[in-house]
Amino acid sequence: MSAAKNKLSEITSNDSGLGGQYKTWFLDYASYVILERAVPAIEDGLKPVQRRILHAMKEMDDGRFNKVANIIGQSMQYHPHGDASIGDALVNLGQKELLIETQGNWGDIRTGDDAAAPRYIEARLSKFALEVAFNAKTTKWQLSYDGRKNEPVTLPMKFPLLLAQGADGIAVG
């Protein structure tokens, strides 16, 4: 019995055993999240979720405000990580009042007040966003996560968005 216990202790304590594999897996996952999801691209200053939201809003654009719940649903065609992350990113973009015009209670980043539920608030792309973020001729496209739609690799931003908006949020704890 003690020989088996010693063997288990040896497997879980060295880096080539189970404990080492978990360390490797976590570092691989954390690196993926930080590099592929949490850090904005230098080319357009957007995180993938933000880019997908703007692309979905461009597809929906008819000049009128849309319910945020509908924007989230449209964005889910491109973003595989669920509606909560899309909603949070959309509210964050809306609170900065640069790319998205808002209507309703969007909360306040200075006081920490939360936005109203997505069914009560509305948004549309700002004139600024329509002018500086989209150009079908110069946009590179890739298939979405399920291969059903095309989404932009980056948006051909004509403005240093990363400098204007900055980057915030969390990656992997």
Q: Mean pLDDT, 10 residues at a time, over the chain (173 residues)?
A: 54 61 80 77 92 98 98 96 93 95 95 95 98 93 96 94 76 54
Same-domain check for residues 73 and 87: yes
For position 14, what pLDDT does the model report?
Answer: 54
120 is catalytic: yes
Same-domain check for residues 123 and 51: yes
Residues 6+ apart with CB under 8 A from 37: 47, 48, 49, 81, 171
Same-domain check for residues 75 and 29: no
- Is residue 28 in some structural domain? yes
For position 87, what pLDDT does the model report?
Answer: 97
For position 31, what pLDDT does the model report?
Answer: 79
Number of domains in the chain: 2
Same-domain check for residues 28 and 54: no
d(CA 82, CA 37): 13
- Is residue 172 in some structural domain? no
For position 131, what pLDDT does the model report?
Answer: 96
For position 8, what pLDDT does the model report?
Answer: 44
Same-domain check for residues 77 and 147: yes
Residues 6+ apart with CB under 8 A from 12: 18, 19
Look up the domain containing 17 and give its range.
1-39
Q: What is the CATH number of the domain that holds 108?
A: 3.90.199.10
Q: Which of 29, 32, 120, 145 is catalytic?
A: 120
Number of alpha carbons in the 13 Å side-chain half-sphere of residue 33: 12
Same-domain check for residues 8 and 82: no
pTM: 0.81
- Is residue 57 in some structural domain? yes
